[in-house]
């Protein structure tokens, strides 16, 4: 929390930092599970949603709540979330094409 919420560090307490840590851990577990089973649509969409949540969270902290400044500590997760969303949206097209080709093979 010390590297992220630099604009208003007094507004962040230990409980919020621990909650953010648990949220980050949960997101990473979901993302690892998706990497293991990339063809699971529900898991794929859930993983994509975690990146959207991260992007919205960090953008809101910078531009709405003004608790974070655009430092490297905030820019890094913003870039990871943005590029991951882009990559997953591109990958979603291949997931759809693969599902269609499997359906054709069954018929």
> 23-82: per-residue pLDDT in tens?
999 999 999 999 999 999 999 999 999 999 999 999 999 999 999 999 998 999 999 999
As for how many domains the chain has, the answer is 1
Range of the domain at 100: 14-106
| Residue 6 located in a structural domain | no
Instruction: Report whether pLDDT(102) > 90.
Output: no
Instruction: Report whether pLDDT(107) > 70.
Output: no
Q: What is the mean pLDDT of residues 9-24?
A: 88
| Residue 2 located in a structural domain | no
Predicted pLDDT of residue 14: 85
Please state the pTM of the whole predicted model: 0.87
Q: Report yes or no: 61 and 74 within 8 Å, Cβ to Cβ.
A: yes
Task: Give the CA count within 13 Å in the CB-facing half-sphere of 25.
Answer: 6
Q: Would you call 104 helix, strand, or coil by DSSP?
A: helix
Torsion of CA 71, 77, 81, 87, to 10 degrees: 100
| Residue 42 located in a structural domain | yes
| Residue 47 located in a structural domain | yes
């Amino acid at each position: 929390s010390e590297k992220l919420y630099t604009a208003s560090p007094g507004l962040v307490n230990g409980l919020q930092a621990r909650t953010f840590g648990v949220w980050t851990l949960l997101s990473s577990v979901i993302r690892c599970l998706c990497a293991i089973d990339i063809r699971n649509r529900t898991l794929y969409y859930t993983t994509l949603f975690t990146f959207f949540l991260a992007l919205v969270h960090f953008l809101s902290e910078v531009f709405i709540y003004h608790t974070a400044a655009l430092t490297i500590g905030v820019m890094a997760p913003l870039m990871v979330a943005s590029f991951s969303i882009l990559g997953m949206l591109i990958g979603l097209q291949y997931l759809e094409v693969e599902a269609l080709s499997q359906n054709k093979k069954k018929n």
